[in-house]
Chain A
Amino acid sequence: MAGYVTRRVLIMVLMLLVLTFAVFVLFNLLPADVARLTCGKTCTPQTLEANRIKLGLDQPVIMQFWYFFKGLFVGREYYGGPTPIECPAPCLGYSFQRNELVTTLIAQRLPATIWLALGAFAFWMVGGISLGIYSALRRGKWQDKTVMGVSLIGYSLPSFFLGLVMIYLVIIQLKLLPFPRYVSPFENPVQFFQAMLLPWIVLAILYAAFYMRLTRSQMLDAMGEDFIRTARAKGLPERTVIGRHALRAGLTPIVTAAGLDLAGLLGGAIITEALFSLPGIGSLALSAVVNPDQPIIVGTVLITAAFIIIANLIVDLLYAAIDPRVRLA
């Protein structure tokens, strides 16, 4: 076990290093002019030239990568202004438009994104898995068909359309909720829940659809296995047969998908955050795309991809805990 964990952690570290390199290549070597992408919509030739020097674009590519890489671990300084800008580790870059460190910007936006992701996650896991089990137990009956139909529509609907319809129905027509204005839950819990409820539901519907189908097919596979017959023959109550034996056997792919989806969401739910004007990482990334601010984009992409690689590792380690059939090879 210890050897397996060490090996997996080493692979992960290697993946993160390659990721950093890939992100650097994508965002620094791909565009024809990087400085232009840090300069926003209102760009003067002076700022453009200043940014070119601040970013070290006048230096060889190898040195640029070295500064970028070094910044992540020991920090770096941006020269070119009257005083050098200090960017302590982990330095994800500096936004010349906002005059802020990218790390600071992301840290400010992280809470809203985390709340959004965790709330939606709770909703869709409970809803998706229980409806999936229900559907599998009523296989072929009208309940099953209804759940599967809802799930098809759920994963087919474009998220922004679903969100807009929700806003129209719940907020504008029925006036059940005020238009969402995000506050920290520690500041004003009531307003927090009012703001988060719809985004949670919209995200949960989109994700739950997939989990319903996955859980259902996993359950159907597991229910056909011999060990289920054995469990029933032992006289175990049906509840235990389903919960302990069938669900657990089919849980592995559900855990994989859940880990990766959650990690992806922690990098920001771009459309949902934009629709409900939540100050999260997704809307930060979007604003940096609409009004070009490359350092912010690079920072968010790097963080999100790192989340997913780390989640990959956690999921793989969880396998062994859930499913004794997994060999630690």
Chain B
Amino acid sequence: MAVDLAVPSKPGATPEVAGRSLRQLAWARFRRDKAAMTSLGVLIFIFLVAIFAPLICSWFGVDPYTFNSSVISDDGGKPIGAWGGISWQHPFGVEWGTGRDIFARLLYGLRISLAISIIATTITVVLGTFFGIVSGFAGGKTDAVLGRFMDLILAFPFLLIVLALSGALTQRITSLGVPEGNASRLVYLILIFSLFGWPYLARIIRGQVLSLREREFVESATAMGASGRRILFKEILPNLWAPILVYASLTLPTYIGAEAALSFLGVGILPPEPSFGAILADSVNYFKLVPSYLFIPGGILAILVVTFNLVGDGVRDALDPRAARS
């Protein structure tokens, strides 16, 4: 219920002094945060690179699947040339044994990784917000049951349960008609990340709803005879965007890391489909001789996660100045 309070304008007051919305305030604060702005720039660049990966690869004349026997030695398949075969044709070198271009594999791995984490984060946020609101708004028995249910889900360590259910759930997904192999694994990763990720957000949302419900503006809306639905959508939901946005921006890098970890352990996305984790797992065998094979993909993965986290921190500081770091 936005009520316009007519503020008597003082004579001589500059007309530019206008009320700013939370969004404008937050954006102004975010823009002053140099680390966050730089990271945002890097992220936009990374997104563009991921979106246009096929185009970029064709410019360089590389692709992630072709075996190149000409760039690896005949005995043992060692990349020819220093630093794992880094050259103008293959900017990040080539894979040991197959000669596949690592630059192209990383770009395509980036696409898969971003796709999984963005979809999973979206589902997580929808589920978390929905159940958080239900729990906080309904209260009583519903809240108690949902609360215990969340406790139960949270009792399973994230990585362990993702790993543990991979066999069982992938099998079920395949039996439901999703093609076997990486398609099923992709669906599995998105499903399991969302199913075991939402309670963290739901708890935060529940707490927010509980405190918002007691605020004066909700009380006045109730007093004016607003329906429960109106209070929910017009009064409470607009105030939840801040925690949702903060949580989403910090969840995404977690999922990127989890996907990489699972592929590293051999239960995520499997070759020939490229992924950061699988490339790093392969690099273990060769990094003694070709350190760049470990440091280039690992470094890019680390930069990806760090920039996401920096943007997430920036968003949090901008939306909630009280929780700011300094």
- The interface of chain A, by Cβ under 8 A from chain B, is 15, 18-19, 22, 26-27, 30-34, 36-37, 139-140, 144, 148, 152-153, 155-161, 164-165, 168, 172, 217, 264, 267-268, 270-271, 274, 282, 285-286, 289-290, 292, 294, 297, 300-301, 304-305, 308-309, 312
Contacts and interface: CB of A to CB of B under 8 A. Distances in A.
Contacts of B264: 160, 271
B163 interface: yes
A160 B261 contact: yes
Contacts of A22: 152
B155 A158 contact: no
Contacts of A270: 159-160, 163, 265
15 contacts: A15-B151, A19-B152, A30-B172, A32-B172, A156-B253, A156-B302, A161-B298, A161-B302, A165-B294, A165-B295, A286-B265, A301-B156, A301-B160, A308-B154, A308-B156
B155 A305 contact: yes
Contacts of A26: 165, 168
B262 to A, nearest CB: 10
B305 A156 contact: yes
Interface of B: 148, 151-152, 154-157, 159-161, 163-169, 171-172, 174-175, 253, 257, 260-261, 264-267, 277, 280, 283-284, 287-288, 291, 294-295, 298, 301-302, 305-306, 309-310, 313, 323, 325-326
Chain A contact residues: helix, strand, loop or mixed: helix
Contacts of A217: 323
B118 to A, nearest CB: 18
A161 B167 contact: no
A271 B310 contact: no
A249 to B, nearest CB: 18
A31 B166 CA distance: 10
Contacts of A286: 163, 265
Given A15-B152, A158-B298, A161-B298, 4 more contacts: A19-B155, A158-B305, A285-B164, A294-B167
Contacts of B155: 15, 19, 305, 308-309, 312
A145 to B, nearest CB: 8
B309 A290 contact: no
A297 B167 contact: yes
A147 to B, nearest CB: 11
Contacts of A271: 159, 261, 264-265
A289 B302 contact: no
A329 to B, nearest CB: 15
B168 A164 contact: no
Contacts of B166: 289
Contacts of B283: 164
Q: Which of B152, B168, B294, B305 has the most CB of A within 10 A?
A: B168
B172 A31 contact: yes
3 closest pairs, A vs B, by CB? A31-B168, A32-B175, A161-B298
Given A140-B326, A264-B157, A268-B160, A30 B165 contact: yes
A156 B307 CA distance: 9
A31 B172 CA distance: 5
B207 to A, nearest CB: 14
Contacts of A309: 155
Contacts of B257: 158
A17 to B, nearest CB: 11
Contacts of A285: 160, 163-164
Nearest to A265: B157
A224 to B, nearest CB: 11
A312 B284 CA distance: 37
